Structure 1
Amino acid sequence: MSLWTWLFPRLPAVYSSPLSREQAVQALRATTARGNITATGTIAGSVDADRVLLYHRRAMRNSFKPHFRGRFVASTQGCELRGVFAPPLLVIVFLSFWIGFCLLGTVVSVLQLGQQSSLQMATAIPGLVMAGFGVGLVRLGQHLSAEDPAILSRVIRQALQSPSA
C-alpha cells in the first residue's frame, strides 16, 4: 500500500437494485436529508441520476470523513449505483499542499545550512512536526468516521430494494 492510498483511502462500491433508474433515484432521494442543517445521524447530500454525493451527518463536524460519490447505471436486472467512498477532494488538495510545503520547507532550510550539521537537525524539526500533525489530523478524522461507509451502505441498500422504500 502506498503512502497516498494509506492517507487517502478509496473504497469502491456497487449497489444493485431491482428498481428502474428513475425509481432508484427517487427512492434514494427520499431517504436523503437535504438542507436540514440541524439534522444529525442522517444521510445528507444530493441525488441525481448522473451524480450522487452522500455523507453521514453527525453532531460533530469532521471534514475528513468519507463521502460516497457515484452514479446510477442501467442494468438488465434494474440498475446499479456505482461509486467510491473517499475523502472530499478539497481535503485531499489542501492536505497535499500542507504536507508538501512542510516537507519542502524542511529540505530547503536544511540545504541552506550547508556543512553546519549541528543545526541541520534543529531546522528540520518544525517542518517535520507540522507534516506529522497534518498526517495525524487526517488519521484521527478517519478513525472518528470509520463506521460511516457501513452506515451509508446500509441506508443505500435499504432505499434501493423495493418501490415501497
Structure 2
Amino acid sequence: MPRITERLYKNRVGLNVLANTIENAKDVFEAAEGFVLVGVLSKNYPTVKEAVTAMKAYGQEIEDAISIGLGAGDNRQALVVAEIAKHYAGSHINQVFPSVGATQANLGEKQSWINSLVSPSGKVGYVNISTGPSSSSTEEKAIVPIKSAIALVRDMGGNA
C-alpha cells in the first residue's frame, strides 16, 4: 500500500503543500499533524542527482511525506520526474499522463502514489490526455472519456 494513505486526514482528504526549505517543510508537517504531502519541485534543481539528494533530505525530516512535483505542471520535467523515481519514491508523484508508465517502471519495487496530469477538454465528461512534451504541442488532442482516462492510468500503474 502506498505511503500516501498515512497522510490522508480521516482516510479521505489529502493536502499537498509546497515547501521552499526543509525547515518550512518540517513546520508544515508539524502544523498538519502529519496529514500532509509536502511538494518538492523537480524544476527547482539543475540535475536529477541534486533533486534526489534534496528530496531525500526533506523526506528524512518528515517521514518521506514528499510529493515529487514537476513544477507548475511543466511537461518538460516529465523525464526528470521519471528518472527521480529510480532513486527516490517519496509518497506521491505528479506526472504527465504519457509518462505514468515510465515512472511506474522506474519505481521498481518501491511504492508511491502516481497522480496523472490531464487537462480540461471543454467537453463535459471528457479530458485531454495530451499532456506530454510532444502530445501537448499537437493540433489534434487526445480527448477521451474520464472513465477511460482513469482505466488507462491504472493500466500504466498509476493511481489517479
- TM-score tier, shorter chain, comes to under 0.3
Q: Relative to total residues, which structure has the larger helix share, 1 or 2?
A: 1
- Higher-Rg member (1/2): 1
State TM-score, norm by structure 1: 0.22
State TM-score, norm by structure 2: 0.22
RCO (CA 8 Å, sep 6+): is it higher in 1 or 2?
Answer: 1
